[in-house]
Chains A and B, each alone.
Chain A
Amino acid sequence: MRKLKNAGCYIFLTIVSVISIFPLYWMIAAATNNSTDILGGKLAIGTNFANNLTKLLEQQNVGRAFGNSLFYSCILSLLSLVVCSIAGYGFEIYHDRVKDGLMSVLLLAMMVPFAATLIPLFKLFTGMHLQSTWIAYVLPTISTPFLIMLFRQSARSFPMEIIEAARIDGLSELRIFFTIFIPTMRSTYAAAMTVTFMNAWNNYLWPKVIMMSDKSQTMPMLVANLSVGYSIDYGVLMLGVLICSLPTGILFLILQKSFANGIVGAVKG
């Protein structure tokens, strides 16, 4: 009886897994085939990969877009982690009534839809002639209520005695944060890093608006450009899509264990 029940579980999970994986496999297979084979329904890995790559590199400046995306996303994630984690730590470890009140106000920002701030932000950055710069890419999303909350929540489980002991040893508050809190909270940082980098890399609406010069084009913008037009080469397109998904995919596979642990700490009571 028990075995039978689990058999049902396995079948269900396998079906869901196959549905989850299939479009990704199809993308990889398509990146190695030519347009005709793809449209004909070929599912096997083909031999047209090198050809697709040559065509893609001829048509588009993939190196530049990839480099831009990587640069913007790394800077954004790094700044975001530092600014939000130290804030979350500050809100929790030194909390008093005023700070708790401010936190509730900041949480309201979670309800602000990006579309609503889009135009004023666009005017602000173009007014300062910062369009097409990395500053314009990163500044609006460095500080997010979600990340501050995540770190505030995890600072709650950080033992106060350690901080007290470090103070007696004469460490400054900033040193305690950098040399004790950060290394202890590695899994929270990994979870935050994964989420932040993915959001930064995926960012599309804001870059589409503010990164106006060709030089500042990002990878999602490049891929979106590939997909419009009358004669689309599907092999080339899918290779672009694949390249665009590689960094986030690799990052997740590396950090997945700590990611899961970090989220556990964050949703705890």
Chain B
Amino acid sequence: MKSNGKRNTGLTINQKQGLTGWFFLLPAALLIFAMNFYPMLQALVLSFKTGIGNNQVWGGLDNYARLLQDKVFHTAIINNFFYLLIQVPVMLVVAIILATLLNKKDLKCKGLFRTMIFLPCCTALVSYSIIFKTLFAYDGYVNTVLTNMGLISERINWLGQVSTAKVIIIIALIWRWTGYNMVFYLAGLQNIDESLYEAARIDGAGPVKAFFKITVPLLRPTILLTTIMSINGTLQLFDESVNLTNGGPANSTLTMSHYIYKASFEYNPQFGYAAAMSYVIFILVAILSFVQMKVGDKR
């Protein structure tokens, strides 16, 4: 790409630069097509086939009909939405409050607080799942402390009961991801002009009013970004379901991705059926992202 003016091949400088741009973005674009879009199409074709392992025959809509009957899959969808509806709002609200507090001018030790709150994000997903599994085990730390303090008379089987197992997963998720989202809000807050808050204060608006009238509207793009990332992440939960509860008890914490993994790689591999399930996730993610963007873009 030498900008050698004399041996011009008939292209203007603008065209030449446009071409350079294509060379720059081509590797990334091709990889996304080869590793995302193309497999996506293959999965669509696969979802119309039935059979075990590599013996696949055309089955039309059989897999999709089977999905409607599959109780385990329904449970997995409900589980994912349960996590989504409780965990995402709580986490994002806490993250935005933390960011607002850490953005206060007259607060000391900001850096220390920020680092401590972000640290959970540095643990590997497998690691933190195991930490929580061990803390909440039947003979684990939480039970030991609670019994020693006399708060409970009998050890609670946190991960062995349907109701508590779900709650533990949500607590673990909030612990792991709140700091991550907080960093995005902190970054967004840096771009808000301080004078807006000054003006609001002079007009007699308290901190709560300033939060709802200035912070929240101006953070809208960041809120949109974090919401889409969190929804996307929650619908694709895998590591936690596998390592914290192994989907149990009785599939009550099983997620869609975990079920797809089980259908594809455990017992008899049913690739076609798993592909059909994965399309359900795709459609759910797409619809939710679309709704988010429509709602979030309103100005």
Name A residues whose Cβ lies closer than 8 Å to a Cβ of B: 2, 6, 9-10, 12-13, 16-17, 19-21, 23-24, 26-27, 30, 38-41, 83-84, 86-87, 89-91, 93-96, 99, 102, 106, 109-124, 139-145, 148, 167, 170, 172-174, 177, 198, 201-202, 204-205, 208-209, 219-221, 223-224, 227, 234, 237-238, 241-242, 244-245, 248-249, 251-253, 256, 259-260, 263-264, 266-269
Task: Please classify how large the interface on chain B is, using the bins under 10, 10 to 19, 20 to 34, 35 or more.
Answer: 35 or more
In the complex, whether B148 has a CB less than 8 A from a CB of chain A is yes
Min CB–CB distance B278 → chain A (angstroms) = 4
A26 & B135 in contact (Cβ 8 Å cutoff): yes
List 15 A-B residue pairs with CB atoms under 8 Å apart, sorted by A's residue number: A23-B175, A41-B144, A83-B28, A87-B28, A110-B228, A118-B264, A118-B274, A119-B271, A143-B28, A172-B2, A174-B20, A204-B242, A220-B126, A227-B243, A245-B122
Contacts A90-B25, A115-B260: A248 and B124 contacting too (C-beta < 8 A)?
A: yes
Min CB–CB distance B293 → chain A (angstroms) = 10
Min CB–CB distance A262 → chain B (angstroms) = 9
* Interfacial residues of chain B within 185-212, with CB under 8 A of chain A in the complex: 186-188, 190-191
In the complex, whether B164 has a CB less than 8 A from a CB of chain A is no
| Partner among A40, A90, A223 whose Cβ is within 8 Å of the Cβ of B23 | A90
Task: Find chain A residues with CB under 8 A from B123 CB.
Answer: 24, 241, 245, 248-249
Min CB–CB distance B222 → chain A (angstroms) = 5
Closest to A35 in B: B139
| Partner among A109, A119, A252 whose Cβ is within 8 Å of the Cβ of B275 | A119
Min CB–CB distance B77 → chain A (angstroms) = 13
Inter-chain pairs besides A10-B107, A117-B278, 4 sampled, C-beta below 8 Å: A12-B101, A13-B117, A16-B113, A20-B119
Closest to A259 in B: B183
A267 & B265 in contact (Cβ 8 Å cutoff): no
Closest to A252 in B: B122
Min CB–CB distance B67 → chain A (angstroms) = 14
B130 & A223 in contact (Cβ 8 Å cutoff): yes
Min CB–CB distance B181 → chain A (angstroms) = 11
In the complex, whether B133 has a CB less than 8 A from a CB of chain A is yes
B187 & A263 in contact (Cβ 8 Å cutoff): yes
Stretch from B58-66, B84-92, B281-289 forming part of the interface with A: B281-289
Task: Find chain A residues with CB under 8 A from B2 CB.
Answer: 172
Instruction: Give complex CA distance A2, B121 in Å.
Output: 33
A111 & B285 in contact (Cβ 8 Å cutoff): yes
Task: Find chain A residues with CB under 8 A from B128 CB.
Answer: 23
Min CB–CB distance A111 → chain B (angstroms) = 5
In the complex, whether B162 has a CB less than 8 A from a CB of chain A is no
* Interfacial residues of chain B within 254-284, with CB under 8 A of chain A in the complex: 256-257, 260-261, 264-265, 271, 274-275, 277-279, 281-282
Task: Find chain A residues with CB under 8 A from B191 CB.
Answer: 264, 267-269
| Partner among A113, A148, A170, A238 whose Cβ is within 8 Å of the Cβ of B28 | A148
B116 & A245 in contact (Cβ 8 Å cutoff): no
| Partner among A94, A102, A144, A263 whose Cβ is within 8 Å of the Cβ of B17 | A94
| Partner among B106, B113, B148, B285 whose Cβ is within 8 Å of the Cβ of A113 | B285
